[in-house]
């Protein structure tokens, strides 16, 4: 075999610049397409892309989810799976409408109707397209491989038709129905909000909280002149006050209150008497149930409310806060509505859909409901019914997009009866593989257990139209396609845009009563659109071929989004799957924590702490950002992102990897190494076998971590290996690389090839660059891209755990020795005669490793401390609390004292002889002690965890001379470099030095010449000596 020579790679690298050229390479050679095509016919591994809403520019938090969505599909592809990655865009919904309204300067629905629905929806479509471009750019730049050409768009006619089909399936089961309910409603947007939308909009606000007197007008309380004391934080609802609710089982106090000689009688829950101030005397206690139907005079009489204004009973009333008497306004509270219906009370609503009081209401007609509070509180005061008024801070729901305060409002709405499939949802959730696991039974499980019906409809414009047509007599038809609609209407409609207003224009006679059928006006929640993507992305079941495609890719093996999607996409995806196919749409879900700014705050436009993703990647490189997201901290905890944290990644991990590559190519090229020269593993050194052993253990670890979606652990293992490789294997083997040792070069090459593959899902750019510049150069027969290779397979027979442990010990001993040397203030360049070692397993440590320690510490002889003279060693002992505590419990403190009082040398000697010994009255063995052996004075010692290294600091003239020679070599090497010689250049050296070291240098001439590649090495007395330690000065010439 004639394998090619390698070429050197410069150590300096411009990461972002390199990434741009890799992007070109991928595009030009269609590498992404090739990576999936190569697996066609293999077992599929299905990934669903949760479509981003294209209503704004992408932020750094979008990178986070997209990194995770990229790394596992890349890994599974390398494992031989067929992983298609279809991009998607969430096009509909209020967010898009809001953005367009802002651009057009609109303030409400009226403006849109004036402008025209068709024109408005065109603007929405255009806005979506524009923002999709920005997402595409960001996605490409970060190296997220996803197929944009096949992307699904939720506004595409075939997508809408597929959604219609699924709605009809649900409608046929009787689970899609219209109902009236009090629900949160945004008066600005003119639409009800679903519960998962509601969840996103709570804001803490300060409202006026008022305590209001409702004078009693019947029974004995009226005779006492008592007033009910009612507390509310929504004074505007007092206009439509209909009743007052009390809890049947709560005790209510009739209290006489005297403040500055003013006397009055008030009724409050006994537990909440503290709401009253002044001198309070309880006249009487009455059970709530005995107050039923007691009448009162309402505080405001601005509108007509017939046959009402008495006390009703309700079990939802609490004595947590307020007064225990709750004012009832059935149009504005779900509980109120239910209670008042029970008493046959009227539902009176003085507020128009735009959130303003009806024009004919006195005092507040035409005023926005929240704005009316001030006027109404003033009015209450002037009427003398205001008892107390104080600001109250509490969370209040706001519209998640426009931040307008929501109003709970009785309105007709279409619902999906998700409560009727609750058991099925819980069953499907139990089968789901959640990461982290706690979500399954925690947050998400709780949500399912408390499931409520899905409020599906929206009174808006830009959304999937609800495909239900209805006649005056409320006969209903649900259509599943344009074809069905065309058949009903007797028209060819296959090219109709299935959006408003075009579908609204289609009418046909009712099959039952022949009256005209019109579409209901609502569009649907856009969360339904995205939850329908498993089938709608294929246009299922109408589009030819969609049935096969859907079946091959359902359910998903993997989806991944941030934690806020528990009630969003994770829910709608599972729910629609269960409703339509009786099976959840996904098997595994990775639920990410949020990205925070460097101070731990949420990134948001209005805080101005958003990191712009493209510039972040252009500054540090996409690989660095990716590695940070994947490996720094836990994927499921919230994490802080800042420039410093990301540049650390570059320095610590990526550049160390890169430097190792560069080092390898430098020497492979210099020695003319070819892969065909690689010796068999059995013929390689212990160091080689060790790093190969570590490599195979690494492959196992990384493979397992990726398969469990644990990128953090994969990253940790990879970073540790990079450090082992660079800072121990290469460092210790440097001499062999200079000598062109083929075993070392082959070993390093093999490690780098596998390492590059293992890293490639996480950092696809730099690994591709290495593949092209190193791997492919050394062996042109390999795959055209690292991303077209198979994932490395570990060879367990090459894993040698004993060897790994021995190297680990070697490194610990070296670390101790270095510490001792640093302490001794003798330069490492100066050799020492002897070091004594104390460590478990020292006697069986291979000679190779002992030699490495000697070399690393620059010591001539190493010996076991046990072999040294007995007097050389001091023994000290400490109580081992863990073992003693288990045996003796609370006596440990006394035993520890007794041990401390015993002569340690005698104690250990005795224990070693007989296995047990008595300390005080207690029988202990060797395991109950922590024994430390250190050499006596005159030595420099470092110890840790029972291992020690002791250095003999005595210097002989021979040792000093050897040290000086080494100094000369180092000096010349440095000069070679500063003079710009190539590492393989041969040189001529002329030198001069101080008198005292002349003979030493001359006698080491051969050795020095060899080390510095000198063909000539001659003293030249005309050269002036310098003022360094040896006075040495040299002049180098290329030979």
Partner RNA sequence: GGGCCCAUAGCUCAGCCUGGUUAGAGCGCUUCCCUGAUAAGGAAGAGGUCGGUGGUUCAAGUCCACCUGGGCCCA
Q: Which of residues 558-587 bind RNA (CB under 7 A)?
A: 563-564, 566-567
- Nearer of residues 383 and 651 to RNA, judged by Cβ: 651
Q: How far is the CB of 817 from RNA (least distance, A)?
A: 9
CB of 412 to RNA, least distance (A): 20
**Taking the CA of residue 769 as centre, how many other CA atoms within 13 Å lie in the half-sphere pointing to its CB?**
23
602 counts as catalytic? yes
Q: Under rule CB under 7 A, which residues in 733-762 are in contact with RNA? A: 734, 738
Residue among 558 and 667 whose Cβ is closer to RNA? 667
Instruction: Tell me the closest approach of the beta carbon of residue 981 to RNA, in angstroms.
Output: 5
Kindly state whether residue 882 participates in binding RNA, applying the rule CB under 7 A: yes
φ, ψ of residue 544 to 5 degrees: the values are -55, 135
- Please give the backbone phi and psi of residue 967, each rounded to the nearest 5 degrees, phi first: -65, -40
| Closest approach of RNA to the CB of residue 854, in Å | 15
Q: Strand 639-640 and strand 873-879: pairing?
A: unpaired
Q: Where are the alpha helices (DSSP H) in 609-684?
A: 613-620, 622-631, 643-649, 655-670
Nearer to RNA, 317 or 632 (CB): 632
893 binds RNA per the rule CB under 7 A: yes
Nearer to RNA, 106 or 202 (CB): 202
Choices 37-45, 487-495, 888-896, 901-909; region in contact with RNA by CB under 7 A? 888-896
Q: How far apart are CA 222 and CA 858, in angstroms?
A: 103
DSSP assignment of 179-224 equals: EEEEEEEETTTTEE--HHHHGGGEEEEEEEEEEEEEEB-SHHHHHH
Instruction: Please pick, from the candidates 4, 225, 278, 395, the single residue that binds RNA as defined by CB under 7 A.
Output: 395
Using alpha carbons only, what angle is made at residue 176 by residues 175 and 181, rounded to the nearest 5 degrees? 105
- The CA-atom distances, in angstroms, between 601 and each of 94, 442, 606, 607, 614 are 26, 24, 12, 9, 21
Radius of gyration, CA atoms only, the chain: 40
569 tagged catalytic: yes
- Would you state the structure tokens that stand for residue 17, as one six-digit string? 């610049």
22 touching RNA, by CB under 7 A = no
Q: Is residue 671 close enough to count as binding RNA by CB under 7 A?
A: no
Query: Which one is catalytic: 231, 538, 569, 690?
Result: 569
Q: Is residue 605 flagged as an active site residue?
A: yes
- Of the residues 45, 52, 90, 411, only one is catalytic, namely 90
Integer Cα distance of 410 and 184 in angstroms: 9
Cβ distance to RNA smaller for residue 479 or 951: 951
Is 160 an interacting residue with respect to RNA (CB under 7 A)? no
The rounded distance, in Å, linking the Cα atoms of 765 and 136 is: 18
By beta-carbon proximity to RNA, the closer residue of 475 and 652 is: 652
Q: Residue 966 interacts with RNA (CB under 7 A)?
A: yes
What gap in Å lies between CA 865 and CA 882, rounded to an integer?
27
Please tell me the distance from the alpha carbon of residue 15 to that of residue 22, in angstroms, as a whole number.
10
Cα torsion 818, 823, 826, 827: sign: positive
* CA gap 388, 810 in Å, rounded: 78
Catalytic residue among 551, 605, 882, 977: 605
CA contacts within 13 A on the Cβ side of 880: 15
Which residues, 87 to 116, sit near RNA by CB under 7 A?
A: none
Which residues are CB-neighbours of 487 under 8 A, at least 6 positions away? none
727 makes contact with RNA (CB under 7 A): yes
- The torsion region of residue 174 among left (phi > 0), alpha (psi -120 to 50) and beta comes to left
8 A C-beta contact, residue 939 and residue 825: no
d(CA 348, CA 332): 10
Cα–Cα dist 985/976, whole Å? 9
3-state secondary structure of 49: coil
Task: Pick out residues in 980-1009 that bind RNA (CB under 7 A).
Answer: 981-983, 985
Subset of residues 487 to 546 that bind RNA, contact rule: CB under 7 A: none
CA–CA distance, 136 with 114 (Å, rounded to integer)? 34
Taking the chain, what is the end-to-end CA distance rounded to the nearest angstrom? 35
Q: Which is nearer to RNA, 79 or 975 (CB)?
A: 975
Task: Kindly indicate which of the ranges 170-178, 343-351, 364-372, 642-650 contains the residues binding RNA, using the contact rule CB under 7 A.
Answer: 642-650
Binding mask 912-931 for RNA (x = CB under 7 A): --------------------
| Cα 285 to the center of its chain, rounded Å | 56
Nearest approach in angstroms of CB 946 to RNA is 9
- Is residue 640 a contact residue for RNA (CB under 7 A)? yes
Contact segment (CB under 7 A) with RNA among 167-175, 227-235, 639-647, 674-682 equals 639-647
Selected binder of RNA within 37, 217, 218, 438 (CB under 7 A): 438
Minimum separation from the CB atom of position 21 to RNA (A): 19
With respect to RNA, which residue has the nearer C-beta, 51 or 817? 817
Q: Which is nearer to RNA, 8 or 910 (CB)?
A: 8
Which sign does the torsion angle of CA 945, 947, 950, 951 carry? negative
| 363 counts as binding RNA under rule CB under 7 A | no
* Among the listed residues 347, 809, 832, 1012, the single contact to RNA using CB under 7 A: 1012
422 binds RNA (CB under 7 A): no
Burial environment of residue 922 by CB neighbours within 10 A (0 to 12, 13 to 18, 19 or more)? middle
Our CB check for RNA shows the closer of 134 and 898 to be 898
CA–CA distance, 767 with 757 (Å, rounded to integer) = 7
Structure tokens at 689: 């076998």
Q: How far is the CB of 518 from RNA (least distance, A)?
A: 33
Check binding of 1027 to RNA (CB under 7 A).
no
Q: Does 284 bind RNA (CB under 7 A)?
A: no
Segment contacting RNA (CB under 7 A): 688-696, 847-855, 978-986, 991-999? 978-986
Active-site residue, selected from the candidate residues 231, 434, 469, 527: 527
Under rule CB under 7 A, residue 195 binds RNA: yes
Choose one: 151-159, 420-428, 654-662, 696-704; the region binding RNA (CB under 7 A): 654-662
Number of chain residues interacting with RNA (CB under 7 A)? 84
Q: Are 584 and 577 in contact (CB under 8 A)?
A: yes
Write down the least CB distance from residue 262 to RNA, Å: 32
Q: Does 827 bind RNA (CB under 7 A)?
A: yes
- Nearer to RNA among residue 680 and residue 825 (C-beta): 825
Regarding 186 and contact with RNA (CB under 7 A), the answer is no
Stretch that binds RNA, among 159-167, 378-386, 467-475, 724-732 (CB under 7 A): 724-732
- One of 290, 360, 446, 1020 touching RNA (CB under 7 A): 446
Which string of DSSP letters, residue by residue, matches 580-607? Answer: HHSS-SBSEEEEEPPEE-TTSPBP-GGG
Q: In the stretch 828-847, what mask flags binding to RNA with x, by CB under 7 A?
A: xx------------------
Is 871 one of the binding residues for RNA (CB under 7 A)?
no
The answer to whether residue 632 forms part of the interface with RNA (CB under 7 A) is: yes
Closest of 1006, 989, 963 to residue 860, by C-alpha = 963
Write down the residue that tokens 């019947």 correspond to.
218
Q: Does 385 bind RNA (CB under 7 A)?
A: no
Residues paired with residue 477 on neighbouring β-strands, in sequence order = 469
- Cα distance between residue 300 and residue 329, in whole Å: 13
Piece of 1-9, 113-121, 678-686, 971-979 that binds RNA (CB under 7 A): 971-979
Q: What share of the chain is helix, strand, coil (3-state, %, to 5)?
A: 45, 20, 30
Q: Which of 648, 923, 958, 1016 binds RNA (CB under 7 A)?
A: 648
Say if CB 753 and CB 695 are below 8 A apart: no
Binding-site member from 141, 168, 542, 976 for RNA (CB under 7 A) = 976
**Residues involved in catalysis:** 51, 90, 527, 565, 569, 602, 605
């Amino acid at each position: 075999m004639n394998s090619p020579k390698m070429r050197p790679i410069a150590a300096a690298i411009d990461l972002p610049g390199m990434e741009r050229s890799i992007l070109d390479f991928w595009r030009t050679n269609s590498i992404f397409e090739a990576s999936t095509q190569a697996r066609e016919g293999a077992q599929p591994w299905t990934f669903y892309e949760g479509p981003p809403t294209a209503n704004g520019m992408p932020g750094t938090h979008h990178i986070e989810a997209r990194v995770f969505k990229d790394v596992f599909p890349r890994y599974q592809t390398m494992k031989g799976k067929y992983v298609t990655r279809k991009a998607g865009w969430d096009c509909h919904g209020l967010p898009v409408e809001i953005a367009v309204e802002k651009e057009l300067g609109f303030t409400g629905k009226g403006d849109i109707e004036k402008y025209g629905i068709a024109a408005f929806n065109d603007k929405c479509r255009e806005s979506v397209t524009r923002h999709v471009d920005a997402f595409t750019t960001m996605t490409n730049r970060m190296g997220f491989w996803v197929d944009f050409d096949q992307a699904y768009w939720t506004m595409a006619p075939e997508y809408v038709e597929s959604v219609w089909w699924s709605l009809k399936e649900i409608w046929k089961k009787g689970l899609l129905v219209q109902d009236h309910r009090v629900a949160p409603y945004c008066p600005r947007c003119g639409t009800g909000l679903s519960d998962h939308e509601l969840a996103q909009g709570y804001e803490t606000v300060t409202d006026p909280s008022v305590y209001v007197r409702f004078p009693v007008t019947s029974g004995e309380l009226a005779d006492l002149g008592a007033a009910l004391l009612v507390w509310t934080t929504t004074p505007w609802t007092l206009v439509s006050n209909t009743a007052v609710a009390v809890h049947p089982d709560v005790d209510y106090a009739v209290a006489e209150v005297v403040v500055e000689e003013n006397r009055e009688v008030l009724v409050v829950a006994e537990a909440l008497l503290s709401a009253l101030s002044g001198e309070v005397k309880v006249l009487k206690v009455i059970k709530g149930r005995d107050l039923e139907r007691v009448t009162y005079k309402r505080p405001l009489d601005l509108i007509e409310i017939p046959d009402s204004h008495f006390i009703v009973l309700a079990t939802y009333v609490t004595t947590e806060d307020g007064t225990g008497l709750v004012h009832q306004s059935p149009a504005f509270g779900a509980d109120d509505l239910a209670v008042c219906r029970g008493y046959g009370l009227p539902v009176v609503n003085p507020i128009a859909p735009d959130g303003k009081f009806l024009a004919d209401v006195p005092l507040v007609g035409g005023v926005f409901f929240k704005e009316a509070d001030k006027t109404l509180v003033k009015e209450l005061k002037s009427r003398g019914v205001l008892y107390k008024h104080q600001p109250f801070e509490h969370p209040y729901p706001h519209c998640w997009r426009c931040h307008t305060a929501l109003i709970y409002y009785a309105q007709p709405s279409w619902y999906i009866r998700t409560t009727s499939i609750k058991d099925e949802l819980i069953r499907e959730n139990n089968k789901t593989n959640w990461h982290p696991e706690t979500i399954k039974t925690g947050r998400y499980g709780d949500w399912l257990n408390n499931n409520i019906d899905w409020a599906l409809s929206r009174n808006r414009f830009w959304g999937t139209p609800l495909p239900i047509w209805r006649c005056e007599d409320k006969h209903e038809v649900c259509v599943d396609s344009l074809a069905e609609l065309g058949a009903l209407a007797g028209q060819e409609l296959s090219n109709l845009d299935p959006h408003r207003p075009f579908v609204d224009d289609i009418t046909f006679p009712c099959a039952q009563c022949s009256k005209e059928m019109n579409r209901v006006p609502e569009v649907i929640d856009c969360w339904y659109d995205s939850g329908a993507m498993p089938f709608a992305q294929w246009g299922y079941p109408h589009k030819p071929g969609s049935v096969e495609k859907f079946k091959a890719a359902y359910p998903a093996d993997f989806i991944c989004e941030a934690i806020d999607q528990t009630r969003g996409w994770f829910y709608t995806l599972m729910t629609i799957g269960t409703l339509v196919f009786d099976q959840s749409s996904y098997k595994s879900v990775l639920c990410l924590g949020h990205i925070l700014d460097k101070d731990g705050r949420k990134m948001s436009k209005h805080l101005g702490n958003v990191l712009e993703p493209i510039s972040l990647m252009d500054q540090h490189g996409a690989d660095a950002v990716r590695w940070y997201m994947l490996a720094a901290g836990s994927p499921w905890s919230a994490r802080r992102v800042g420039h410093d944290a990301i540049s650390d990644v570059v320095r610590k991990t990526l550049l160390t990897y890169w430097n190792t590559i560069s080092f390898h190519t430098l020497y492979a090229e210099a020695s003319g190494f070819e892969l065909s020269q690689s010796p068999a593993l059995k013929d390689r050194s212990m160091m080689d076998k060790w790093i190969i052993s570590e490599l195979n253990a690494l492959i196992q670890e990384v493979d397992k971590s990726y398969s469990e979606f644990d990128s953090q652990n994969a990253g940790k293992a990879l970073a540790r290996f990079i450090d082992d490789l660079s800072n121990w294997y290469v460092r210790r083997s440097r001499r062999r690389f200079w000598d062109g040792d083929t075993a070392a070069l082959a070993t390093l090459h093999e490690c780098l090839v596998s390492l590059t593959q293992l890293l490639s899902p996480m950092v696809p750019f730099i690994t591709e660059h290495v593949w092209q510049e190193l791997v492919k150069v050394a062996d042109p027969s390999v795959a055209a891209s690292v991303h077209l290779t198979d994932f490395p397979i570990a060879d367990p027979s090459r894993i040698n755990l004993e060897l790994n442990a021995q190297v680990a010990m070697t490194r610990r001993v070296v670390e101790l020795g270095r510490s001792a040397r640093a302490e001794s203030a003798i330069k490492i360049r100066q050799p020492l005669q002897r070091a004594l070692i104390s460590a478990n397993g020292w006697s069986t440590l291979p000679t190779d490793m002992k030699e490495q320690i000697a070399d690393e510490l620059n010591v001539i002889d190493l010996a076991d401390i046990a072999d040294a003279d007995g007097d050389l060693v001091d023994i000290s002992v400490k109580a081992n609390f863990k073992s003693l505590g288990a045996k003796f419990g609370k006596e440990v403190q006394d035993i520890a004292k007794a041990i401390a009082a015993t002569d340690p040398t005698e104690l250990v000697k005795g224990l070693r002889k007989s296995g047990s010994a008595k300390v005080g009255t207690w029988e202990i063995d060797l395991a109950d002690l922590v024994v430390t052996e250190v050499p006596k004075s005159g030595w420099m010692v470092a110890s840790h965890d029972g291992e020690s290294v002791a250095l003999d600091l005595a210097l002989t003239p021979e040792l000093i001379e050897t040290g000086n020679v080494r100094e000369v070599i180092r000096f010349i090497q440095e000069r070679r470099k500063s003079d710009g010689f190539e590492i393989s250049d041969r040189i001529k050296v002329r030198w001069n030095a101080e008198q005292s070291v002349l003979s030493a240098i001359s006698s080491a001439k051969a050795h020095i010449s060899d080390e510095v590649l000198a063909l000539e090495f001659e003293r030249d007395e005309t050269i002036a000596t310098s003022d360094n330690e040896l006075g040495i000065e040299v002049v180098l010439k290329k030979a």
